[in-house]
């Protein structure tokens, strides 16, 4: 299978929209949160740390550090020690709860190392990838997609995008296939590393589940078209705001359950009205 046939060599127009999967997802979920995250200066008041985010960051950092080691040192005991080295208590209810989840995270990474092949060096760890994207034949790129992929492996002649998960729910093949972030990383990694990339995987470290999907040119193009549409809306709203437009009209709040744990809840009246605030440790996997 040949790599997706987008023209990366056409001269770019004067203005391109640079987007990351995180920016696109934030704008789609809640335009107001996007504005507060990326446009408002000074940045509005945020909540404190969230325990589930702390836990996820620790596991990511420990696994990244593990793959930086020589193969002979990539053993369960070392993985557990790396969790301890990277551990933080931010967002946990108290020291006892933090200690329980620290022990749990050690067990997760030890099992991950025990049951997965960690003897092959990834071609990228937290690797920055970027690619201009052309969707209309004969035109220049309309956007640049970029971001950091958790891990990029090479299997045979193709790349594989790997994203670690530590949340409550086990991912499945549908989630892997429908993930816009994974699809965009696949396109950007193929461009950056000049190697075909269609396989994407979600590695759920708490359960050892691996949800995998293989994209086609058509499925990647659908993700890119959706990203291009969102980027166009985002660009128009931002340009209109800079020209003096109404920020609340251009970047409206979309209240929902997620408002209970939104970082910008202290600065958003609509979010506060949507429901009670979550405790910083409530989203931890039970």
- Domain map (residue ranges) of the chain: 23-115, 121-231
pLDDT attached to residue 4: 52
User: Are the CB atoms for 5 and 217 separated by under 8 Å?
Assistant: yes
Question: CA neighbours within 13 Å on the CB side: how many for 253?
Answer: 17
The whole-number pLDDT of residue 5 equals 52
d(CA 86, CA 38): 28
- pLDDT score, position 6: 52
Specify the fold of 121-231: Lambda Exonuclease; Chain A (3.90.320)
* Residues contacting 111, CB < 8 A, separation 6+: 76, 208
pLDDT per position in the chain (286 positions), as tens?
Answer: 444 555 545 444 446 889 999 999 999 999 999 999 999 999 999 999 999 999 999 999 999 999 999 999 999 999 999 999 999 999 999 999 999 999 999 999 999 999 999 999 999 999 999 999 888 777 788 889 999 999 999 999 999 999 999 999 999 999 999 999 999 999 999 999 999 999 999 999 999 999 999 999 999 999 999 999 999 999 999 999 999 999 999 999 999 999 999 999 999 999 999 999 999 999 998 7
Residue identified by tokens 């990277």 is: 86
Residue 60 is predicted with a pLDDT of 97
- CA separation for the pair 217, 198 (Å, rounded): 8
Burial of 42 (0-12, 13-18, 19+ CB in 10 A): exposed
At 1 the pLDDT is: 44
Q: What is this structure's pTM?
A: 0.90
Q: What is the pLDDT of residue 14?
A: 47
């Amino acid at each position: 299978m040949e790599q997706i046939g987008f023209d990366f060599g056409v001269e770019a127009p004067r203005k391109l929209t640079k987007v990351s999967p995180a920016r696109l997802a934030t704008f789609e979920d809640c335009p107001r949160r996007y504005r507060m995250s990326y446009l408002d200066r000074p940045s509005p008041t945020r909540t404190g740390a969230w325990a589930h985010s702390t836990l996820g960051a620790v596991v990511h950092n420990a696994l990244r550090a593990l793959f930086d080691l020589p193969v002979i040192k990539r053993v369960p005991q070392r993985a557990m020690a790396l969790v301890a080295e990277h551990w933080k208590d931010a967002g946990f209810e108290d020291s006892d709860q933090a200690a329980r989840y620290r022990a749990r995270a050690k067990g997760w990474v030890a099992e991950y190392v025990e049951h997965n092949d960690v003897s092959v060096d990834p071609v990228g760890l937290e690797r920055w990838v970027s690619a201009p994207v052309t969707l209309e034949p004969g035109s220049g790129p309309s956007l640049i997609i970029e971001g950091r992929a958790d891990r990029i492996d090479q299997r045979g002649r193709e790349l594989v995008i790997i994203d670690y998960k530590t949340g409550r729910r086990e991912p499945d093949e549908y989630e892997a296939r429908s993930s816009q972030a994974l699809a965009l990383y696949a396109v950007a990694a193929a461009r950056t590393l000049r190697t075909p990339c269609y396989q994407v995987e979600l590695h759920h470290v708490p359960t050892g589940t691996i949800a995998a999907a293989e994209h086609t040119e058509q499925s990647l193009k659908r993700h890119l078209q959706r990203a291009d549409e969102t980027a166009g809306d985002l660009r128009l709203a931002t340009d209109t705001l800079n020209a003096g437009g109404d920020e609340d009209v251009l970047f409206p709040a979309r209240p929902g359950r997620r408002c209970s744990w939104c970082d910008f809840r202290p600065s958003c009246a609509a979010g506060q009205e949507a429901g009670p605030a979550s405790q910083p440790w409530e989203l931890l996997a039970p």
